Structure 1
Amino acid sequence: MLAGRMMDYPLTLTHFLERARTYHGRCEIVTQNPDRTSSRSTYADLHRRAAKLAHALTRLGVGAGDRVATLCWNHARHLELYLGVPAMGAVVHTLNLRLHPSELGYIASHAEDKVLVVDRSLLPLYRKFAPQVRCIRRVIVVGDDGPVEGDGLDYEALLAPEPDHFDFPTLDERAAAMLCYTSGTTGNPKGVLYSHRSIVLHTLVSCMHDTLGFRERDVVLPVVPMFHAMAWGMPYSAVAAGARIVLPGPHLDPASLLDLMARERVTFAAGVPTIWLGILALLDEHPGRWDLSAMRSMVIGGAAAPPSLLDGFRSRHGLTVTHAWGMTETNPLGTIAHVRASLGPGADSLDTRASQGYPVPFIDQRHVGLDDSRPLPWDGQSMGELEVRGPWVASSYFGDEGEDRFTKDGWFKTGDVVTIDGEGYMRITDRSKDVIKSGGEWISSVALENALMSHPAVLEAAVFAARHPVWSERPLAAVVLRQGQTASKDELRAHLEPRFAKFWLPDEYLFVERIPRTSTGKFLKSKLREEFADLLTAKPSG
């Protein structure tokens, strides 16, 4: 028997914007400014200003499908762009301000961004890659640390004369809404284009109690930047739930975040392990200084967190940290490490909570052999590459690049080497490629090696990951010098500095006579990791 026909109602972000005004108009948006004062607005203001933004961008020639780039910290104006740009039919493209200017120039050009919205404090960064980008026609400056003078259109002045009502179009739910780029761990960065439908579905699942569980009564602090993987979808989830949202601006140091959490009575926060390591250290140093009694959940993702971190928050401070896993290509939520009640007594172990968890609804997982790509058993022992699929998992990259990351039967190859136990809990054990994940950001070993080997004194160079007590992993470089040539560590660092972001630069340079190799002549980095993996554990970098 066929079911009755359902109403054809498009799943678009416009619904979240309209709902925020209609049912949660008095809900507050708090922004911590660069001078550490707080600006406060409401969801009604968000709707009104998103309408003004849509009018202004239309007047500047932005149309359906055009990319509007942002180079901004987490603040209310960025949230206006998150909603206003997609609702008018254009695409918001977040630029990761932690990348090297040359990478930002490549990304903005590849995306063919038409307009850039940039914080005034980030104009020096934009100027470094502006000559590389010919597609950007207009630059709009958010005066986050003072008035805008001669550097572009002032955001506030641009919006001021516009009407506060906009007839947002009826959109196809499969139309593009946001564009995010990977960090370019293998080759150039690749774009992931999210549709309205994928973001809406991701948001609804994020609001479920046993995933992230956003609620109207929550006070949500996205510590994860809005320029990184859509801030894990948190801005959209908070708006959909009608939750109060607190945006930290540029102040992401542990003391500033703890002050903000205590002052605004934050109930939910999320960020990468580096953030939580710093916060835990400060809480241990100053017990009782900050009242975090309102906090119900802190989510950690972006890199595997040490079990001692989760245990430290719970045992010493009574705070719950929940592990999650995802990628830019998964919109990004894929798994969550909640301990299921059906597992029975004793299941709430540190081992389970320190895993990457099991898939959220609508995400399927499997892991396959690294040599033969055959599905492996869920026995907690067999290691293979994780593959996932689902309605918000990318099926291709922007411009149809990277076809080798997608299987013929519809799965995305994550590049993570994992085990999966009989209950479906996934644990990352290694990486299929020798990329390094430091503080939640990927670093390409191959790119660093190629640059090092361009130095006239360097014959060979292999870059590999070493464990680090703060950043999880940091790069080390093993270097073989040419016969009769010399080069100091400082000289090699200076050789790399113009080409890479500061956090990419190796923490140590090891001068060796030879680099171990596999039988096929490739660098045997596993051997280097075995020998030097703990070199940095006694001396964390800043």
Structure 2
Amino acid sequence: MRGLMFDSQLLLHSFLWRTERLFADKQIVTRLGPGEYHRYTYRDFGKRARRLGDAMRTLGIGPGDRVGTLAWNHYRHLETYFGVPGIQAVLHTINLRLSPAQQKFTIDKAEDRLLLVDVDQLDLVADLLDLGLPTVEAVVVLADSVPEHRLPLPVHCYEELLAAADEDAQFEEFDEHSASAMCFTSATTGDPKGVVYSHRAMVLQAMCLAMHDKLNMSESQVWLEVAPMFHCNGWNIPHTALLQGATLVLPGAHPSPADYVDIIEDLGVTGMNAAVTIGTMIRDAVRASDRPRDLSTLSTLWLGGQAPSKAVMKWFRDEYDCEVMQGYGMTENSPQICFFALKSTLADGDDDEIYALRQTQGLPIPLLQIKVCDQETREELPWDGQSIGDFFVRSPFTASEYYKDERTKDSMIDGWLRTGDVGCIDPEGYVLLKDRSKDLIKSGGEWISTIDLENSLMLHPKVAEATVVGIEDEKWLERPLACVVPSDPSLTADELRDHLLAEGFIKFWIPDTFLFVPEVPKTSVGKYDKKAIRGVVADEGLERAKAALGAG
């Protein structure tokens, strides 16, 4: 017996009906420069998104066609989030921080027909075209006019296209399983892997974020979207903000940590999401400022990509009464898997117990199932907070396969996604990530968690950044190496060894070598680039690697 319900489709552009009627006068604000902002309403946004859809049709873009973007976080890029999938085309947000070879790979793999690009990306596009982009037919410049360029293809002005288009053009209803967007993983190993999101998956993910009490994406929020819109759909925050009518703030092109501080002060930002490294850099920018900075409006700071340190959490709480939270996600899961929430039954714990919980990856979000399995037998392990294995997940927003990629068979197994992460789950359901499977160190037969070491190193008052990797060792096969950015030049390796011993680590876990470096290498999405560090040591040897990494 079937239920007697309308079969309305879950489509991204269905959000516009709600937003334009309930929150028409709420604003989207984009930083243009120091103290300069572009503002318009959700009413204006809806009209321009429909104009964009109509303009895309005029350019011959239709259902299933891929449209690539090379753009920063700004209002025009946001319009593509709805205007392109609204006509059943597929938005491919190209990672600005990938190498040109990897960018070409993703454009070719996606078979993008059209590229929408910021002015500062035109030279890059010309270089990519020189390498050969056989499927790209034209380029649209996201600007008021088209500057001089050396592109051999037809080049259109975004604003001229919108001016000639119909703001009353309608987005039709179609199958919710249709592809809406495409992102590629940031290629920690091998070529980037393509993930194709459906409208249904992205709508459900946004609804899950909207209902989360700690994120509190409500109409009253002034939310700063720092996470790149070219990576994992900006963690789906733009869709969730629009759904809830929150004021959405976009930092524009080439923002610096000091710019984020200015934006928070200028606009009274109440919430923001960013990589952990950005949170650390904002703290350091405030400390280095020649005048007092007021971030007191900021109450929610979601730091992702890796676990934020207790030191950063405490600094924001002590200085501004701002709660730093984290989630756990990946491109393949649209992206969220877990998000922190403190259960009321655990709220009476002392400070150390609460911080220990906040440094977990949180609880599985609604509609998602997670399990931890033995790495060899794949048997499911108990949720006891001790049994460590591989995480597997499944949900309506988990990728069932990679786009035209043989590596699907290694990750999508029996209806579950093997995340590549290793950890445990406690009896309350809190997920604790111990490491990426490739980053765990096996030294003398014993597993060492680089994340545990990093979190403790970051607690030292003289440490600004720290990451730990495994390097080859003749006796133990692997040993931990720490790369540390000191905040105080007087810091010594012996201080760090004593600190780790005081934190409860056994001597065997403590790194043999501490490299004091000016900056930890980072990936295209702001994570510590452990692969790069391991590669330098493997290729150059430890002594030459010290010079290559700038170690003092």
Shorter-chain TM-score category?
A: 0.7 to 0.9
Could you tell me which residue of structure 1 aligns to residue 262 of structure 2? 259
Which stretches in structure 2 are left out of the alignment for 5+ residues? 441-449, 455-466, 473-477, 488-527
Contact map agreement 2:67 2:84 (CA 8 A) in 1: yes
Q: Does 1:319 align with 2:318?
A: no
Q: Does 1:14 align with 2:51?
A: no
Runs of 4+ in 1 over 6 A off after TM superposition: 435-438, 462-465, 538-541
Contact map agreement 1:405 1:412 (CA 8 A) in 2: no
Q: CA deviation at 1:433?
A: 2.0
Could you tell me which residue of structure 1 aligns to residue 424 of structure 2? 419
How has the CA–CA distance of structure 1 residues 22 and 405 changed in structure 2, closer, same or farther, with 3 Å as cutoff?
farther
What are the equivalent positions in structure 2 for 1:6-45 lying under 5 Å apart? 6-34=5-33, 37-45=36-44
Could you tell me which residue of structure 1 aligns to residue 276 of structure 2? 273
How has the CA–CA distance of structure 1 residues 532 and 275 changed in structure 2, closer, same or farther, with 3 Å as cutoff?
farther
Instruction: Quote the Cα distance in structure 1 between the aligned partners of 2:245 and 2:396.
Output: 24
What are the equivalent positions in structure 2 for 1:151-230 lying under 5 Å apart? 151=151, 152-210=155-213, 212-230=215-233
Instruction: Quote the Cα distance in structure 2 between the aligned partners of 1:344 and 1:463.
Output: 38
Q: CA deviation at 1:465?
A: 7.3
Instruction: Give the counterpart letter for 2:360 in structure 1.
Output: S
Q: CA deviation at 1:343?
A: 2.1
Match of 2:391 among 372, 381, 386: 386
Instruction: Quote the Cα distance in structure 2 between the aligned partners of 1:149 and 1:193.
Output: 34
Could you tell me which residue of structure 2 aligns to residue 342 of structure 1? 345
Higher mean C-alpha deviation, range 373-382 or range 343-352: 343-352
How has the CA–CA distance of structure 1 residues 408 and 328 changed in structure 2, closer, same or farther, with 3 Å as cutoff?
closer
Contact map agreement 1:310 1:354 (CA 8 A) in 2: no
Instruction: Quote the Cα distance in structure 1 between the aligned partners of 2:330 and 2:413.
Output: 20
Instruction: Give the counterpart letter for 2:110 in structure 1.
Output: A
How has the CA–CA distance of structure 1 residues 418 and 402 changed in structure 2, closer, same or farther, with 3 Å as cutoff?
same
Q: CA deviation at 1:467?
A: 4.2
What are the equivalent positions in structure 2 for 1:441-480 lying under 5 Å apart? 466-469=482-485
Identity in percent: 37
Could you tell me which residue of structure 2 aligns to residue 499 of structure 1? none
Q: CA deviation at 1:463?
A: 13
Higher mean C-alpha deviation, range 313-322 or range 27-36: 27-36
Contact map agreement 1:466 1:532 (CA 8 A) in 2: no
Instruction: Quote the Cα distance in structure 2 between the aligned partners of 1:371 and 1:182.
Output: 26
Instruction: Quote the Cα distance in structure 2 between the aligned partners of 1:395 and 1:508.
Output: 31
Contact map agreement 2:72 2:252 (CA 8 A) in 1: yes
Q: CA deviation at 1:46?
A: 0.9
Contact map agreement 2:195 2:402 (CA 8 A) in 1: yes
Contact map agreement 2:337 2:368 (CA 8 A) in 1: yes
Match of 2:237 among 218, 221, 234: 234
Q: CA deviation at 1:469?
A: 4.6
Could you tell me which residue of structure 1 aligns to residue 118 of structure 2? 119
Q: CA deviation at 1:507?
A: 9.3
Contact map agreement 1:32 1:39 (CA 8 A) in 2: yes
Instruction: Quote the Cα distance in structure 1 between the aligned partners of 2:341 and 2:479.
Output: 35
Could you tell me which residue of structure 2 aligns to residue 107 of structure 1? 106
Q: Does 1:364 align with 2:369?
A: yes
Instruction: Quote the Cα distance in structure 2 between the aligned partners of 1:242 and 1:335.
Output: 24
Instruction: Quote the Cα distance in structure 1 between the aligned partners of 2:98 and 2:247.
Output: 30
Instruction: Quote the Cα distance in structure 2 between the aligned partners of 1:325 and 1:255.
Output: 27
Instruction: Quote the Cα distance in structure 2 between the aligned partners of 1:205 and 1:340.
Output: 17
Match of 1:303 among 295, 302, 306: 306
Q: CA deviation at 1:323?
A: 1.2
Q: CA deviation at 1:48?
A: 1.0
Instruction: Quote the Cα distance in structure 2 between the aligned partners of 1:56 and 1:217.
Output: 33
How has the CA–CA distance of structure 1 residues 408 and 169 changed in structure 2, closer, same or farther, with 3 Å as cutoff?
same
- Secondary structure, counterpart of 2:392 in structure 1: strand
Q: CA deviation at 1:209?
A: 3.5
Instruction: Quote the Cα distance in structure 2 between the aligned partners of 1:470 and 1:45.
Output: 47
Higher mean C-alpha deviation, range 213-222 or range 89-98: 213-222
Could you tell me which residue of structure 2 aligns to residue 482 of structure 1? none
Alpha-carbon RMSD across the aligned residues, in angstroms, is: 3.4
Q: CA deviation at 1:315?
A: 2.4
- Secondary structure, counterpart of 1:33 in structure 2: strand
- Secondary structure, counterpart of 1:39 in structure 2: strand
Instruction: Give the counterpart letter for 1:430 in structure 2.
Output: D
Q: 1:512-534, CA deviations, whole angstroms, 9 ceiling, x for partnerless residues?
A: 99x9xxxxxxxxxxxx9xx999x
How has the CA–CA distance of structure 1 residues 511 and 83 changed in structure 2, closer, same or farther, with 3 Å as cutoff?
closer
Instruction: Give the counterpart letter for 2:397 in structure 1.
Output: W
Contact map agreement 2:18 2:243 (CA 8 A) in 1: yes
Q: CA deviation at 1:294?
A: 2.1
How has the CA–CA distance of structure 1 residues 207 and 230 changed in structure 2, closer, same or farther, with 3 Å as cutoff?
same
Q: 1:17-36, CA deviations, whole angstroms, 9 ceiling, x for partnerless residues?
A: 23222222111111112566
Contact map agreement 2:182 2:196 (CA 8 A) in 1: yes
Q: 1:140-188, CA deviations, whole angstroms, 9 ceiling, x for partnerless residues?
A: 01138x7533552111112111121112111111111010000122321
Q: CA deviation at 1:292?
A: 2.2
How has the CA–CA distance of structure 1 residues 22 and 393 changed in structure 2, closer, same or farther, with 3 Å as cutoff?
same
Instruction: Quote the Cα distance in structure 2 between the aligned partners of 1:122 and 1:352.
Output: 42
Instruction: Quote the Cα distance in structure 2 between the aligned partners of 1:163 and 1:407.
Output: 43
Q: CA deviation at 1:540?
A: 8.1
Q: CA deviation at 1:428?
A: 1.5
Q: CA deviation at 1:237?
A: 0.3
- Secondary structure, counterpart of 2:121 in structure 1: helix
Instruction: Quote the Cα distance in structure 2 between the aligned partners of 1:339 and 1:539.
Output: 41
Instruction: Quote the Cα distance in structure 2 between the aligned partners of 1:284 and 1:269.
Output: 19
Q: Does 1:46 align with 2:51?
A: no
Instruction: Give the counterpart letter for 1:410 in structure 2.
Output: G
Q: 1:442-465, CA deviations, whole angstroms, 9 ceiling, x for partnerless residues?
A: x9x9xxx9xxxxxxxxxxxx9997
TM-score (norm 2): 0.79
Q: CA deviation at 1:210?
A: 2.5
Instruction: Quote the Cα distance in structure 2 between the aligned partners of 1:227 and 1:407.
Output: 24
Instruction: Quote the Cα distance in structure 2 between the aligned partners of 1:357 and 1:235.
Output: 22
Could you tell me which residue of structure 1 aligns to residue 514 of structure 2? none
Q: CA deviation at 1:264?
A: 0.8
Q: CA deviation at 1:468?
A: 4.1
TM-score (norm 1): 0.80
- Secondary structure, counterpart of 2:160 in structure 1: helix
How has the CA–CA distance of structure 1 residues 223 and 126 changed in structure 2, closer, same or farther, with 3 Å as cutoff?
same
